[in-house]
Amino acid sequence: MPTEDLNPHSKEIDTLSAEEIIRIMNDGNLRVAEAIHAAKDSISHAIHDAIATIQSGRNLTYIGAGTSGRLGVLDASEIPPTFGVSPDVVRAIMAGGEGALTESVEGAEDDEDAGIQAVSTVRNRDMLLGIAASGSTLFTIAALKEGKRRGAKCWLLTCNDVGYDFLDGTIKLIVGPEIIAGSTRLKGGTATKIVLNMISTVAMIKLGKVYKGYMIDVLPSNKKLRARAVGIIQEITGCRIEEAEAFLDKAGGNAKTAIVMYMKGLSHEGAKELLEKSENSLRKALKSSF
């Protein structure tokens, strides 16, 4: 497996200066962009499946072990505050449970039974995205097989040239050997994080969670995010800060609803109804003649 191979640029790496090692690492990271570009078609297909899954009221679940699992947890945990969706929309399952987020759990990635049990709540028409740099992690592959048996759409995100007949698709990020053989938290991890960002972000954009580059469904759960929501309302509507704050409060903290209320002259309930008729798209709601 390329992920386990020795990088020819690393044979004397322990004798090099920090500056020389940085150069080697940076040169290697250029391969990440190339690998992602080469996988763009499969990434796009996975995104379309994710959109269809979420639109149908089902959820997208990442599942993995070690670095791969942690990256899934990181991406999934950022979705609710950024896009104002329930934590159930994009979920993450980590081999070894929550404790494995900060400490290695002995044998967790090899536990096929645990992988099967981990997806016991996966439903027909859900989407399961297995993350495994090696493409062969027993926990993850067992989970995907069980997910497929349950009727889920099943994808694998890997850094090796592997595939399984039962899968709906595979995203192959062939970044080559790491500068430390087998340490896929490096190029492999970077490529994986970027692609997870792409899948979740593009899905949320196409589901109406972004307007003109603004995160219009941001949850104003702290001072910084409230200021961001107020600023978004100001930028889009052109209103004064006092009006933006007032409309945000009237809209129950939802910037998108506040914008529709202000620009369409609607009540809170009227704005929510218009957004529902407009498939939760601010662009469609603002153009609507309802």
Domains, the chain, in order of start with CATH, read: 2-207 (3.40.50.10490), 223-287 (1.10.8.1080)
**pLDDT value at residue 163:** 87
CB burial readout 240-258, b (16+ within 10 A) else e: eeebbbbbbebbebbbbbb
Type of residue numbered 224: K
57: Cβ–Cβ under 8 A, 6 or more apart, which residues?
none
**pLDDT value at residue 182:** 87
**pLDDT value at residue 290:** 65
The reported pTM is 0.92
**pLDDT value at residue 130:** 98
- CA distances, 11 to each of 8, 16, 177 (Å): 6, 10, 12
**Which residues are catalytically annotated?**
78, 109
What are the residues facing 155 on neighbouring strands?
129, 169
**pLDDT value at residue 104:** 82
Per-residue confidence in pLDDT tens, the chain, 290 aa: 778 888 888 899 999 999 999 999 999 899 999 999 999 999 999 999 999 999 999 999 999 999 999 999 999 999 999 999 999 999 999 999 988 888 888 789 999 999 999 999 999 999 999 999 999 999 999 999 999 999 999 999 999 999 899 999 999 999 999 999 988 899 999 999 999 999 999 999 999 999 999 999 999 999 999 999 999 999 999 999 999 999 999 999 999 999 999 999 999 999 999 999 999 999 999 998 76
